[in-house]
Amino acid sequence: MRCGPFVKIAHFSDLHLLSLVGVPRRRFLNKRMTGWANLRLKRSAIHRASYVRAIARDIRAAAFDHVVITGDLTNLALESEFEMVRELLEHELGLDAAQVSLVPGNHDLYTRGSLVSRRFERYLGPWLASDLPSLSADVAGARFPVVKIRSGVAIIALSSAVPRPPFVAAGELGGDQLQALARVLAHPEVARRAVVLAVHHPVVEPASRLHQYIEGLRDAPALLALLRTLPRGLVLHGHLHRRVRRAITTTTGFLDHVGATSASLHHDSRDRMAGYNVYEMGEGGTEKVDARVYDPSTDSFRIHDVPQHA
């Protein structure tokens, strides 16, 4: 950690790590059947675990102050996939758990069984330790918000992951977590810092009401109401599998709302190709936003802007 007021943050998302090793067929007699079909038809051809490993190694070598991972670490919320995630965090990324903030995505709570068994928490507990644990609520098979105080910023991880029926990927924070977030934002150690909020689903996204119900964050208005008085900060998300930057106007300033693409995605579009985002944050808010786009032909990264949208 640097001694100065600035914090340099790496952000990647939507790893979609897949492992079916030792998984009996009966484990697919639920929503995983549609997920497996999607993998066979499309996803397995474009999501590559080797890209995620390259990103983790590049982040480790760059010595960031903090790393944020915004969900969908797994594909089907299987134990073998969570073992892959833990292996990646411990060895390829190789950072102390206190330097990493992560949240679940809808794929990490793909079934009700993954929620009931608290699978996300059981495998990734070391990365879910909060600096303000008494303010958290029991949600999504773990305790959120997870708060990490770092120099001039407060990094707040939220869970929007909820088990849904097939073909529904919507997220929801829930009343208990929103009340817990209100307590966190009012805490003096948070209130005097710039806030970095991490959540899987985008908080603002121009879309139809039907699309919002099926794929969006259903209680986004309630979250925005809590954020409306913040003078500065950063809201990080995934889910869309593309890089996008928008602004959230508040009563006293604005928040940068930035999405990362899928860290495993092979795509012709520079805005969707695997990579990670980089932010420089200080007490005054966001100083810099860049994307590092992976080039598999050279096993290297190129710096590009994150596209700005209204």
Question: Tens digits of per-residue pLDDT, 132-148?
Answer: 999 999 997 799 999 99
pLDDT at 22: 58
Higher pLDDT, 245 or 116: 245
Average pLDDT over residues 221-235: 96
pLDDT at 43: 57
Domains in the chain, ordered, with CATH? 7-304 (3.60.21.10)
The confidence band for 4, taking pLDDT boundaries of 50, 70 and 90, is very low
Per the prediction, the chain carries an average pLDDT of: 91
Look at residue 112 and tell me whether its pLDDT is greater than 70.
yes
Q: With 0.85 as the threshold, say if the pTM is over it.
A: yes
Average pLDDT over residues 87-107: 97
Question: Tens digits of per-residue pLDDT, 39-83?
Answer: 555 555 589 999 999 999 999 999 899 999 999 999 999 999 999
Residue 91 is which amino acid? H
Percentage of the chain exceeding pLDDT 90:
77
Higher pLDDT, 164 or 102: 102
Average pLDDT over residues 183-201: 97
The confidence band for 3, taking pLDDT boundaries of 50, 70 and 90, is very low
**Whole-number CA gyration radius for the chain:** 18
pLDDT at 60: 97
Residue 174 sits at the vertex; the CA angle it makes with 277 and 147, to the nearest 5 degrees, is: 45
- What's the distance, CA 55 to chain centroid? 15
Question: Tens digits of per-residue pLDDT, 11-33?
Answer: 999 999 987 665 545 555 455 55
Average pLDDT over residues 269-277: 97
